[in-house]
Each structure stands twice: as structure tokens, then as C-alpha cells.
Amino acid sequence: MKIHHITVSAFGKKGDAPRIRQVLLNLLPKDAEVEEKVLEPETEGEVFTHELVELKAKLTKPSEVKEFSSKVISGLDEYDREKITSGIGRYVDDGCNFYLRLSKSEAEAGNIVLESKDCIHIAFKVAAYPAKKENAVEAVRELFSDEKR
């Protein structure tokens, strides 16, 4: 297994929480649990001025990690796969985390598509030894090549 755990999260207006929860549940393995946290409006900075909700799931069981990562990676079209693999270092940080953002609206329709706005955030904690970015990049590259087979 090249992934220790996966965190999946999405944000939205409080009234959209049931719809977002269902989108996540459709994407996640069947026994995954989605936690909900209400975020109060900011009084300074004005980044968001109304109540938001964060929905989050953490996958730690090897079977869930494998099922979810396989579903996401194999579900990407060739364009998105190429975008990731050609610039894989931009998706991996120094802490050996591999990040993807998927379109919420496309996921609602059953599709897996990269997106930078209104998205589902996915953080894969990559098993890399020693724990260095270049080792994590190679592990992610192998993960993508394994899914092609």
C-alpha cells in the first residue's frame, strides 16, 4: 500500500449540506462516515460572511484506501491523468501529501474531473521511505502507472 490514509472534504452553504453529503457518500466506500462541522462567518477579513459547513471523511482502513484511490485515479480521463503525471511535483508537498481537487458538480453527476473552484478536496498521505517529497512523487507516479494496468 502506497497510501497511509486519505482525507476527503468539501465546503458549502449550510443549506447545501445534505446534497454535498450525498455527493461525498456516492464517491466514498460504502461504510465511510462523513462528519459535519459548521463554520461561523468571519468577523475580520471578510473571506466568507455567511455560515458555511465543512463535510469531511477520513479513510484509514487499507481496503477503503485502496477502493477509493483506485476509483478516483481510474475515473480520471486521459487529459486529467496526463495533467497530473506530467507535473506530479506540483501535487505533492514536502510532508508527502498528494492533493487533488475534484469538481463537486461533476461528482454529483457520477464523473471524476479535476477542478480548482467549488470542489472536493482530497489529501492522500503517501507512504514514502524515507519521507521525502521526491520519494512521495515516485510513489504517486507508481500508483498512477499501477492503475493503468
End-to-end Cα, the chain, rounded Å:
16
For residue 50, the tally of other CB atoms under 10 A from its CB is 10
Fold exhibited by the domain 3-148 = 50s Ribosomal Protein L5; Chain: A, (3.30.1440)
pLDDT in tens, 5-41: 999 999 998 889 999 999 999 999 998 999 999 887 6
- The continuous run of DSSP H or E covering 11 comes out as strand 3-13
pLDDT in tens, 79-97: 999 999 999 999 999 999 9
Note whether 137 and 119 are within 8 A (CB). no
